[in-house]
Structure 1
Amino acid sequence: MLKLLFLFVFIGLVAGEDGLQAWLRYAPLPRGHHRSSLPSRIVALNDSSSSPVYTAGQELQKGILGILGEDLEICDSAPAGNSAILVGTVGQYNKVYQDATLHPDLSEDGFWLSTQGTTVRILGQNERGVLYGAFEYLSMLAQGNFSTVEYPTNPSAPIRWTNEWDNMDGSIERGFAGNSIFFDDGAIVANLTRAAEYARLLASIRVNAVIVNNVNANYTTLQPDNIEGLGRIADVFRPYGVQLGMSLYFASPANITNLTTYDPLDSRVIAFWNDKTDEIYQRIPDMAGYLVKANSEGQPGPIQYNRTLAQGANLFAKALKPHGGILMFRAFVYDQLNESDWKADRAKAAVDYFQPLDGDFDDNVVVQIKYGPIDFQVREPVSPLFANLRNTSTAIELQVTQEYLGQQCHVIYLPPLWKTITNFDLRVDNSTSLVRNIMTGQHFDRPLGGSAGVVNVGQNTTWLGSHLAMSNLYAYGRLAWDWTADPTEILQDWIRLTFGHNQQVIDTITEMSLASWPAYENYSGNLGIQTLTDILYTHFGPNPQSQDNNGWGQWTRADKASIGMDRTVSNGTGYSGQYPPEIASLYEDISTTPDDLLLWFHHVNYTHTLTSGKSVIQHFYDAHYAGALTAHSFVGMWESLKPYMDTERYDDVLFRQKFQAGHALVWRDAITNFYHNLSGIPDEAGRVGHHPWRIEAESMRLSGYEIYAVAPFETASNATAIVTRSNSTTGTASTTIAFDSGVYDLAINYYDMYGGNSTYEVCIGDQVVAKWTGDIVDTGKLGHTPSIYLDGHSATRVTFPDVKIQKGDVLTIKGTPDGIEPAPVDYVALLPRGVVD
């Protein structure tokens, strides 16, 4: 009766899933997936509620009840040979069962899983490993995998951390899923339920530590009441084997004491950090360590005192050493540059700053290196710093939060991008030197190494603001454990755990996900030119002209005739020479540089011929149209899954896919129009600037509206839009339809600005055919960084299918402004079925 009641309740809940359980839904298996026999009990060899072994027992009980409908008893012992699921460390198991034959080869956090016979044994090298093994077994059951297995598995590296860029006021830098689950109004939140739920998710993918506050840290984090609050976070993390770490503000001694210095060699500063670290470890004895961002993007650091970055890092490392803590020191250090200097190059900064210091860092310092030398672009070469630190431990920094990659409003499955980096052979000393082996410490025989994923979860029930974006968090943990794992297999595990076993669902989401990064690269920035977003504002929408004529160094050096950074030794910045000789030679020669990095390493004419036979400019045109078309195909693919999907998640993802389809066109048009205007070279296919199904808003008959010149010009069709004459005046724009009578899809491009929710109504004749509110920003329907301007960030497209029109009908848009938003409209398109304008 209990089993039937549970299944009834669970099936009822499936109809409205909100994403909070992510891949740990423990949904009942469909018919045909059932094990004939199951152990009769769970034996957890530690009954302390703060123990991961105890948590493993609780998780197994919960998971098996959900998946199989069996409510197993948990106990702390069972006679040898009895049917049971045994969970504990190898030491605990051998002590209880005196099994001298069992000595699995396990390293720290590793586990051994055996389903041989009637007893399932899940044994860890430590208690955290036990919990990892329990989640592994539950993942098998949830996917209907009842095979007999017996194997040990060990992590590729000891550091498998996430970085959360949460601020003390509760905001999250580059967070797109609501406010912080850790902080609010300068303090730690009172209710840490979500923090515990997050630790559970991370434990299930074997992430072992979280830096909970922003790398752009605040010194108030070190105040005693906040240290106590961080201790409470650590307390809720501990049962899941997740350690807490924290970011530090380098100049803290000069802010919270009467010291006027933060010189890392000053004895008073050294004493401050030693005492403060002791204070923290007294409350959090298992703290993982510190993360420090110094002398980067305006942050203070040791260079202010003519000290080296190594001296700054070692200040903290020495304070941590007695406690077993790790100091993660970011390599993201660079200066403002002058673009008129042909040899200036931000990409060179990491090697220039850190290579001379190789060997000067203490053994518990790990230099945290972004995967590419700029900043999480859609495609970059691997950072050459990995090849230049032979005597220093390193870790790779990846982004799960899609700062430059659509901010979770565009679906992008990131592991294929990561794999281009981690699988790259740097050919150090002319021998195999895979990045994954360098960053994990294996290649240079370093004691530490691994990865840090910038995740930025928030209060949204989907954690990241998007259901599909969670595949990236799941895959990050799986890959951090084993960098040789296959991204497609990981993805399909996640789909089964998140959406169920229907093969069409698995195949469709797989196809969408694997096409997503190439599509985004195509319509945002390709050939190694970087993501052509607005680097000076929100990093979301297109703004290619923002890339140049600034001091930030993310340049394209685009002019009327040519484009690309010359990073050769022979004629450019010399960046290519930072790689080992074989790789340097590859990139130095334009004939051997891969096309997908051509403009990263070489400055060429728009007419330069690629290996495909196309010119650079024609490739730009073709790629952007192809990428936008792929984004449009995702809508229909997702709609095909409606019969197999719960309504809540189906609707949420469909809304985002429709937004992406429209915003991909904004990207496509902005980039192609910009380079068409700059180069003067026409698109051979005649598409750029030619939109036969559009009606420009400024060409319509206007009342209460006026024409507005949009900046940057390329983020509006024909460079102009219309806005209401005042923020209290309703505007109308009308036109006589010249298209043939028939059924069309009605698409309107407008601007959804932060600070107002304008309302719109479209009539054909006297019939209202469409209504909507421009509220996707202010109401949080989408989580991207908002804009208060008419630009590529606020540009949005809404589509209404199957609208009947008669030639000669009058189409009228009525826009009612709200707040600072003047009901802006760019264009109207009437599209025959199947046409993407």
Structure 2
Amino acid sequence: MTIMQKLRRPSLIAAALAALAGQAAAEDGYDLWLRYAPEGVAEGVSAPKGLAFACEAPGMLLETAADELSRGMGDLFGEDLMRLDAPAPGALLLASENCSDRFAGELPAEAAVGTEGYVLRAAEGGGALIAARGDAGVLYGAFSLLRRIASGEEMAGLDVTERPGTQLRVLNHWDNLDRTVERGYAGFSLWDWHKLPDYKDPRYTDYARANASIGINGTVLTNVNADATVLTAPYIEKVAALAEVFRPYGLKVYLTARFSAPVEIGGLKTADPLDPEVRAFWSEKADEIYGALPDFGGFLVKANSEGQPGPQDYGRSHAEGANMLAEAVAPHGGVVMWRAFVYAAEEPEDRVKQAYTEFTPLDGQFADNVLVQVKNGPLDFQPREPFHPLFGAMPETPLMLELQITKEYLGFATHLAYLGPLWKEVLAADTYAKGEGSPVRVVVDGSLHDYPLTGMAGVSNIGTDRNWSGSIFDQANWYAFGRLAWNPGASAEAIAKEWLALTFSAGEEFQRTALDMMMGSREAVTDYMTPLGLTHLMATGHHYGPGPWVDDLGRADWTPYYYHRATEEAVGFDRTGSGSDAASQYADPLEERFSDVGTTPEELLLWFHRLPWDHEMESGRTLWEELVVHYDRGVAEVEEMQQQWASLVGKIDEERYEQTADFLAIQRDEAQWWRDASLAYWQSVNGLDLPAGAEPPEHSLEYYQALSFPNAPGH
């Protein structure tokens, strides 16, 4: 990389200007976890004595790997990493199946690393080998080596073999062509469509680099509430320009396909997936796209959900709709990711049952290059839900797990909520699809049902804010998604610790305190928003703040009241056999466990059961008293995070410290708001006094109901 190329990076420009001014560069979060801070290096670890390829003509991805190693080692050790003409003692050696002419050793077996995995091995004189079958594996291995050094690992005896646990590790951007972002809390869309294809913002390169560093290999550029305009020739040219930037980092581009595009941009009178002219339209459109970018990944589709067009408009099934698109991209090696987030235009008996009801009869009917993309829970990215019952229930259809990185229901950008524990809760949940020991993780990685395609998708929280994610700690969720998509069995705590070391500091006191904050943060949010299995209590539309009282929208399942059904006598949604029977969608023994109030986990109690306010809990308290305890605990947990963060003043840079402190203050105030507004509403319904010692809400229920936020972000 030339000096001018390096100086195009905004972070390096800032560093250069600060250095000229004789002061340290501000830490504004732009560099994410790729700071390569020398203070994190373990004692005794020294710089490699150069870098060599195992062939004379390395490919594009290997060159990217070498550039990253040169940049990283230079930052970590303050020494330039020389390119060597041949392997030498103490140097780094990069080798792949396409680049091994000079390599005397053996490449890793494909069974061990697949097409994207790698080996890292200590070599003579303090050097290291980064070897893979495919060039992408060498790139991921390079980032892995730098991550290990930067986070303080010892390099003596290095011997690592890794392969990704899923094939498609994809970000879903809910970005609109006007640069607004649905459920986006970090500014506008990165994609400046008006200036593309002629101007490629240097930030696009930094975006691709950040994704490659955590193993993400695909990006869906556009909103699932799709606009067919992106499939027209001018926009295909713009998409191709982005793909050109992303390609050196192994990042494939995908697009959302609006099902009605044949009508809207194709001049047809129908979008019926069995109509020959419609099939021809999509085949020709796929040829056009692949002609502009041959490595196009394929389509993501939201159909017959929330008013989006789809095959059911023509009396066809999801499988028939997906297979039409799959037929169009199959000759080019493309895939179709068909979302299972559906609910009918007619109000259902229980919205959380619909995806299972619609999709399980179609098991085995989808084309080989189709994945059904399923949210972690059956409702909608809530602070806590049971795992989605589709996992384990479709053995003949690859299921791709969809997670929401952006915190639509967990406090937007300002609430500290590390989502690693939430996602691990889902991945570890036992589906009992083949008896005990069948967790969601082995459904998603394909090993339970021998899926030919596997993947995980993360709904992006990335925007034009300098820190990319709206807050520094929201970066951890982007990072955790990538690391869990690579290894669904990884520890959420280990990932958080790694992220803290790379992003802030590997100092023991900082690590201990900040890690404790992160690991308890999601539970705090659940306590002050949706305790004991209550769900979807957020205000309507923008989902900012509490709105459990809302019950007057166009259809009941858009309202919070639908999900709690509180009356003077009881609260909760009966999903047992005496109610909607959603519990029966889970395999035995889960159906029995969730149907029995005595065996249902308390954190899901009101999800599955409608209970009287005086129901006795495990603690001996009544349900009402227990709810108050949880609300109070949620506020107290945020106050504890404030105190913990205050103890770290001076341990990191001032700018990121102050922003986090300010955001924690917002979170504390809003946790109190959630607690007070919720309790005021529940009391208006049940007529019960607060338990002794509990503080009354600061304001009346009418005060909280009158609050309005017409310009809340992300809506």
Q: Report the residue type matching 1:180 in the other structure.
A: S
Residue 564 of structure 1 and its aligned partner are, at CA, apart by 0.7
Q: Which residue does the alignment assign to 1:652? A: 659
Q: Report Cα offsets for 1:803-835 as digits up to 9, x if no partner.
A: xxxxxxxxxxxxxxxxxxxxxxxxxxxxxxxxx
Q: Which residue does the alignment assign to 1:790? A: none
Q: Which residue does the alignment assign to 2:161? A: 152
| Secondary structure class of the residue paired with 1:386 | coil
Q: Indicate whether 1:96 and 2:102 are aligned.
A: yes
Q: Indicate whether 1:613 and 2:620 are aligned.
A: yes
Q: Indicate whether 1:70 and 2:87 are aligned.
A: no
Between structures 1 and 2, the one with greater strand share:
1
Matches within 5 A, 1:199-218: 199-218=208-227
After superposing the two structures, state which structure 1 stretch, 429-438 or 169-178, moved more. Answer: 429-438
Contact 2:120–2:131 at 8 Å: present in 1 too? Answer: yes
After superposing the two structures, state which structure 1 stretch, 109-118 or 410-419, moved more. Answer: 109-118
Q: Which residue does the alignment assign to 2:270? A: 261
CA distance in 2, matches of 1:537, 1:9: 47
Residue 144 of structure 1 and its aligned partner are, at CA, apart by 2.5
Residue 426 of structure 1 and its aligned partner are, at CA, apart by 1.0
Contact 2:181–2:714 at 8 Å: present in 1 too? Answer: no
| Secondary structure class of the residue paired with 1:144 | coil
Q: Which residue does the alignment assign to 1:132? A: 140
Q: Report the residue type matching 1:609 in the other structure.
A: E
CA distance in 2, matches of 1:525, 1:377: 9
CA distance in 2, matches of 1:162, 1:43: 33
Contact 2:50–2:82 at 8 Å: present in 1 too? Answer: yes
Contact 1:168–1:186 at 8 Å: present in 2 too? Answer: no
Residue 183 of structure 1 and its aligned partner are, at CA, apart by 3.8
Assess, with a 3 A threshold, how the Cα gap between structure 1 residues 690 and 448 changes in structure 2: closer, same or farther.
closer
Among candidates 522, 543, 547, match of residue 543 of structure 1: 547
Contact 1:532–1:547 at 8 Å: present in 2 too? Answer: no
Q: Report the residue type matching 1:309 in the other structure.
A: H
Contact 1:195–1:233 at 8 Å: present in 2 too? Answer: yes
Q: Report the residue type matching 1:380 in the other structure.
A: E
Matches within 5 A, 1:701-780: 713=702, 715=704
CA distance in 2, matches of 1:46, 1:183: 39
Q: Report the residue type matching 2:128 in the other structure.
A: V
Matches within 5 A, 1:784-795: 784-785=713-714
Matches within 5 A, 1:451-600: 451-534=456-539, 536-546=540-550, 550-552=555-557, 555-569=563-577, 571-600=578-607
Q: What TM-score results when the alignment is normalised by the length of structure 2? A: 0.93
Q: Which residue does the alignment assign to 2:398? A: 393
Residue 557 of structure 1 and its aligned partner are, at CA, apart by 1.2
Q: What TM-score results when the alignment is normalised by the length of structure 1? A: 0.79
Q: Report the residue type matching 1:346 in the other structure.
A: R
Contact 2:174–2:181 at 8 Å: present in 1 too? Answer: yes
| Secondary structure class of the residue paired with 1:460 | coil
CA distance in 1, matches of 2:620, 2:468: 44
Q: Report Cα offsets for 1:176-209 as digits up to 9, x if no partner.
A: 0001111445976833322221111110000110
Assess, with a 3 A threshold, how the Cα gap between structure 1 residues 112 and 280 changes in structure 2: closer, same or farther.
same
Among candidates 84, 108, 111, match of residue 115 of structure 2: 108
After superposing the two structures, state which structure 1 stretch, 459-468 or 9-18, moved more. Answer: 9-18
| Secondary structure class of the residue paired with 1:669 | helix
After superposing the two structures, state which structure 1 stretch, 317-326 or 634-643, moved more. Answer: 634-643
Q: Report the residue type matching 2:26 in the other structure.
A: G
Assess, with a 3 A threshold, how the Cα gap between structure 1 residues 690 and 481 changes in structure 2: closer, same or farther.
closer
Q: Which residue does the alignment assign to 2:645? A: 638
Matches within 5 A, 1:315-330: 315-330=324-339
Q: Indicate whether 1:382 and 2:390 are aligned.
A: no
Q: Report Cα offsets for 1:693-735 as digits up to 9, x if no partner.
A: xxx8xxxxxxxxxxxxx9x72627xx8xxxxxxxxxxxxxxxx
Q: Report Cα offsets for 1:83-122 as digits up to 9, x if no partner.
A: 31112314422x2224358647221211111123323111
| Secondary structure class of the residue paired with 1:162 | strand
Matches within 5 A, 1:217-296: 217-296=226-305
Contact 2:93–2:130 at 8 Å: present in 1 too? Answer: yes
| Secondary structure class of the residue paired with 1:129 | helix
CA distance in 2, matches of 1:47, 1:255: 51
Q: Which residue does the alignment assign to 1:820? A: none
Q: Which residue does the alignment assign to 1:707? A: none
Contact 2:312–2:318 at 8 Å: present in 1 too? Answer: yes
Assess, with a 3 A threshold, how the Cα gap between structure 1 residues 357 and 86 changes in structure 2: closer, same or farther.
same
C-alpha RMSD of matched pairs (Å): 2.5
| Secondary structure class of the residue paired with 2:461 | coil
Q: Which residue does the alignment assign to 2:11? A: none
CA distance in 2, matches of 1:645, 1:630: 23
CA distance in 1, matches of 2:574, 2:710: 39
Among candidates 165, 175, 182, match of residue 174 of structure 2: 165
Q: Which residue does the alignment assign to 2:6? A: none
Contact 2:59–2:135 at 8 Å: present in 1 too? Answer: no
Matches within 5 A, 1:362-377: 362-377=367-382
Residue 166 of structure 1 and its aligned partner are, at CA, apart by 0.5
| Secondary structure class of the residue paired with 1:437 | helix
Q: Report the residue type matching 1:68 in the other structure.
A: F
Contact 1:170–1:186 at 8 Å: present in 2 too? Answer: no
Q: Which residue does the alignment assign to 1:706? A: none
Between structures 1 and 2, the one with greater helix share:
2
Q: Report the residue type matching 1:356 in the other structure.
A: P
Q: Report Cα offsets for 1:746-770 as digits up to 9, x if no partner.
A: xxxxx89667xxxxxxxxxxxxxxx
CA distance in 1, matches of 2:691, 2:16: 62
CA distance in 2, matches of 1:715, 1:491: 36
| Secondary structure class of the residue paired with 1:121 | strand
Q: Report Cα offsets for 1:495-550 as digits up to 9, x if no partner.
A: 0101122222211211111111111111001111114211x221120111126874
Assess, with a 3 A threshold, how the Cα gap between structure 1 residues 392 and 65 changes in structure 2: closer, same or farther.
same
Q: Which residue does the alignment assign to 2:12? A: none
CA distance in 2, matches of 1:107, 1:408: 37
After superposing the two structures, state which structure 1 stretch, 39-48 or 553-562, moved more. Answer: 39-48
CA distance in 2, matches of 1:24, 1:472: 15
CA distance in 2, matches of 1:392, 1:673: 46
Percent identity reads 37
Contact 2:536–2:563 at 8 Å: present in 1 too? Answer: no
Contact 1:50–1:239 at 8 Å: present in 2 too? Answer: no
Q: Which residue does the alignment assign to 1:22? A: 32
Q: Report Cα offsets for 1:778-819 as digits up to 9, x if no partner.
A: xxxxxx448xxxxxxxxxxxxxxxxxxxxxxxxxxxxxxxxx
| Secondary structure class of the residue paired with 1:541 | coil
Residue 679 of structure 1 and its aligned partner are, at CA, apart by 0.5
Residue 559 of structure 1 and its aligned partner are, at CA, apart by 1.3
Among candidates 602, 606, 610, match of residue 603 of structure 1: 610
Q: Which residue does the alignment assign to 1:332? A: 341
Residue 451 of structure 1 and its aligned partner are, at CA, apart by 0.7
Gaps in structure 2 of 5+ consecutive residues: 4-14
| Secondary structure class of the residue paired with 2:532 | coil
Report which structure shows greater RCO (CA 8 Å, sep ≥6).
Answer: 2
Q: Report the residue type matching 1:586 in the other structure.
A: R
Assess, with a 3 A threshold, how the Cα gap between structure 1 residues 248 and 683 changes in structure 2: closer, same or farther.
same
Residue 552 of structure 1 and its aligned partner are, at CA, apart by 2.4
Q: Indicate whether 1:303 and 2:312 are aligned.
A: yes
Assess, with a 3 A threshold, how the Cα gap between structure 1 residues 611 and 266 changes in structure 2: closer, same or farther.
same
Residue 29 of structure 1 and its aligned partner are, at CA, apart by 2.1
CA distance in 2, matches of 1:153, 1:265: 43
Q: Report the residue type matching 2:103 in the other structure.
A: Y
Q: Report the residue type matching 1:436 in the other structure.
A: R
Q: Report Cα offsets for 1:551-598 as digits up to 9, x if no partner.
A: 3265211112111111112x1111111111211111111111111111
CA distance in 2, matches of 1:470, 1:583: 35
Q: Which residue does the alignment assign to 2:10? A: none
Q: Report the residue type matching 1:135 in the other structure.
A: F
Q: Which residue does the alignment assign to 1:805? A: none
